[in-house]
Amino acid sequence: MNRINSKLAENKKLLSMYFTAGYPNINDTVAIIEELEKNGVDMIEIGLPFSDPLADGPTIQASSTKALENGMTTELLFQQLANIRESVKIPLLIMGYFNPMYQYGIAAFCKKCNEIGIDGLIIPDLPLKEYQEQYKEVFELNNLKNIFLITPQTSDKRIQEIDSVSNSFIYMVSSASVTGNSGGFGTKEADYFKRISDLNLKNPQVIGFGINSKETFYNAIQYQKGAIIGSAFINFISKNKITEISDFINTIV
């Protein structure tokens, strides 16, 4: 069984963390992953930096720019992760935009992910229809889960279509804004979380965007399986040592 599905089957709410590969320093990637697992994180999304990250807020954009300046590339990320499964057991996903993967070659990219032990991909700008018609077979061949995103504006019909194609979890964007929104969750978000829960989808949902505190984390997991923290964690590691990551996790759970 894919590691993502095994984790989803556990009787617990999940904490997933996102960070940008090659940030703050070019060789921090593996150390951050190992430290996150050591401190009880359930899944990790490794951001593949891109020069035009449309869905990302200023924090992740800045980390992506810095990582590229540091020299991070797709090939270097694969080199860094070559032996990651010798030390890390939890699910690892790569989150990034389609262009760098396409430039690398989708078949080659998926094959490499499979070889090093990546469990899934999150590609915000890969349309559902294009995935089904052109790439689904190569994803499945390499045991990769493709994670689709939904937003408060996504229709129930579209959500159910995404649910029918998905086979792990659905990434639930908490609001219509970019990543890094720190305003907290109000009635509107709570109603959205409950509305999606009431659809009784076959795939569990994990909420991202705007999770930055114990309060927002627990609000997010009231109806859904888990939550993803990105910008708040990137802000933390930009100012603190990797060995202090436990301090951040302790403020969330």
CA distance 243 to 32: 9
Which ranges in the chain belong to alpha helices (H)?
3-8, 29-38, 58-70, 74-80, 98-104, 106-116, 128-130, 136-141, 156-165, 187-198, 214-220, 231-239, 245-250
Do residues 233 and 206 lie in contact, with contact meaning Cβ atoms separated by under 8 Å? no
Concerning whether 56 is annotated as a catalytic residue, the answer is: yes
Laid out side by side, the sheet with 120-122 consists of 145-147, 120-122, 92-95, 43-47, 14-20, 226-229, 205-208, 170-173, 149-150
Q: Which helix (H) or strand (E) holds 94?
A: strand 92-95
Active-site pick, 28, 37, 42, 56 = 56
User: What would the two tokens of residue 96 be?
Assistant: 């990034």
Q: How far apart are CA 70 and CA 79, in angstroms?
A: 15
Q: Is position 45 annotated as part of the catalytic site? A: yes
Q: Cα–Cα distance between 192 and 246 in angstroms, integer?
A: 31
| 130 bridge partner residues | none
Q: Is the dihedral of CA 156, 161, 167, 171 positive or negative?
A: negative
Q: Which member of 35, 37, 42, 45 is catalytic?
A: 45
Q: Which residues are catalytic?
A: 45, 56
